[in-house]
Structure 1
Amino acid sequence: MLRLAVSSMFFHEYPVDEIFSSVEEAGLSGVEFWVETPHYWLRGHPLHELKAAVRAHPLLAPITLHAPVLDLNPCSINPRVAAASQQYAVEAVELAGAVGAAVVTVHPGRRTARRPPSRYDYEHFETYLARLRQAAEGIGVKVAVENMEPKVNSLLCTPEEMREVLDVNPWLWLTLDVAHAMAVSEGEVFRYIEACGDRIANVHLSVASNGRRHLSVAGNREACAFVRALENAGYCGPLTLEIEDQSFARPLSLEEKVMVLREERRYVARCLS
């Protein structure tokens, strides 16, 4: 059965336990915790606080994690940037094991220059995957790489490239970002599901429209079609709402964010009924 979750970044400015409590209040059954959630990250990412939040909210377990990505690039032409970026992702895998998370989502990186990725970039990517594989061995956490928006310097921004990487790395999984795929077309989402449906471990559910990304799904017929296609493909993992809270006409209060998630939950439930 599909579990509806939400990214903790929707509650960008709130403490960890308040985020978990709000997700539970909204009636969702999971949370994707961004390691860079400010209240957690800027205070030295205290492990005991995240563990306490997970224990206090068993209805949301197992959670998923999103590895740090802000200002990072594991395929950077700058060796120190690449090494630091890879290390942050490795530590996110280790954190996932420590808090009992089921999946950790990572970004593949990109070519630093705005040019198509080169052999050098793919060599960095292979080193990155090797480090992630080693970190994940024996801890029961799925590492899922996210499909990227179709930019000239992006890695893994087509279903074909993603399938090739998954075939070469049978331990690796996919986090399907619906809005990133929709930047090409609505049909691109279905192509990812058809090509990689057997290896999807997490779904970032939102929509794109008129150049804007990560919008609410409530009332969107295409989102309904995507959810049904995932269910028909046998997917039974988390549907993670990845909604940009700044896409609304004005800043939302905590209570309003909970109300938004309740409406998202009702809509997704209707899609599956």
Structure 2
Amino acid sequence: MKIYASSTLFWGHSFEHICQQVKSANLAGIEIWVEQLQFQQWTIEEIQYFLNSYQLEATIHANSWDLNLCSLNAGIRKQSLREIEASIHIAKQLEVPSITVHPGKRTVNNRFGEIHERLMISTLQQLQELSLEYGVNISLELMEPVRKEMYCTSQKMNELLAHCNDSITTTFDVAHIPQHLSIVDELKTLKRIDKIHISDSTKSTYHVPLGKGELLLDANLWETIDALGVPVVLEGLDSSDSHDFFYDHLDYLQTPLLHLLRSCIHEFFSNQ
């Protein structure tokens, strides 16, 4: 299992510092959030240099804050698409094969659903063209079921995928699954998964450290994730100097991953 860390777990710190922390934890790579890259003014050259120096892989999370790819406002839609294209260009420069993009959402909660869906399908065609032009897969993220969000179940996302080719993939976010649903069932239902975001959540808060929330993160989930063979990104937002969010993730992972490893070893020898 390849485990990455989101750059937002180290908000406000240099890219070199992030690489040092991730490498020290023996993780495979970093998911670089473009908002952070722009806000902290990292250059493509320094990112390439430190990724190479620390022998780390990377994936990209496109701009998403303040954007809406299916806004009723045509100007907002167009600018959102421009921002996504800029993120795709960064992925191309860094030779990153896939970029996570948030799908559009309603402009007005619980209103104009069919119009928003038509606009999202139209924008999806443009995203598909950009994907083919740049040679970078667009990975649409399964969103949390909060007001205005539209694509919050695997079935709903699959329906959207039916309107595009395989250059459009998906990002499964464990913390976005409501607690009354089975994470494993949703994971098995979602098509074209090319990466997984993982953190815990509570009834009131999305994205808390693993083991600090209320999600069922059992061996069955870890085995299902491992079988997919895609990058798993530890998520969260932490601007502290202590990086407690990151280290809470790591502390929790030792138990389920060791359990999974033992299970795999046992299964291997049982089949000999």
What are the equivalent positions in structure 2 for 1:62-101 lying under 5 Å apart? Answer: 63-101=58-96
Aligned equivalents of 1:147, 1:126: Cα separation in 2: 16
Q: Secondary structure at the match of 2:4?
A: strand
Amino acid at match of 1:177: D
CA contact (8 A) 1:90 1:135 kept: yes
Amino acid at match of 2:217: A
Structure 1 gaps, min length 5 = none
Superposition TM-score, scaled by structure 1 size: 0.85
Relative to structure 1, the CA distance from residue 117 to residue 216 in structure 2 (aligned partners, 3 Å threshold; closer, same or farther) is farther
Superposed CA RMSD: 2.3
Structure 2 gaps, min length 5 = 262-272
Relative to structure 1, the CA distance from residue 267 to residue 116 in structure 2 (aligned partners, 3 Å threshold; closer, same or farther) is farther
Relative to structure 1, the CA distance from residue 83 to residue 215 in structure 2 (aligned partners, 3 Å threshold; closer, same or farther) is same
Q: Secondary structure at the match of 2:60?
A: strand
Aligned equivalents of 1:147, 1:155: Cα separation in 2: 9
Amino acid at match of 1:263: D
Once the two structures are TM-superposed, the CA of residue 229 in structure 1 deviates from its matched residue by 2.1
What are the equivalent positions in structure 2 for 1:143-222 lying under 5 Å apart? Answer: 143-171=138-166, 172-181=168-177, 183-187=178-182, 189-196=183-190, 198-218=191-211, 222=216
Amino acid at match of 2:176: H
1:42 aligns with 2:33: no
Once the two structures are TM-superposed, the CA of residue 258 in structure 1 deviates from its matched residue by 5.7
CA contact (8 A) 2:209 2:246 kept: no
- 2:264 aligns to what? none
Per-residue CA shift, 1:214-271, capped at 9, x if unaligned?
Answer: 122248782233222223xx3001111112437xxxx4515x5664354244234224
1:241 aligns with 2:234: yes
Relative to structure 1, the CA distance from residue 26 to residue 213 in structure 2 (aligned partners, 3 Å threshold; closer, same or farther) is same
If you compute each CA radius of gyration, which structure gives the higher value, 1 or 2? 2
Q: Secondary structure at the match of 2:35?
A: coil
The runs of at least 4 consecutive aligned structure 1 residues that moved more than 3 Å come to 218-221, 256-262
Superposition TM-score, scaled by structure 2 size: 0.85
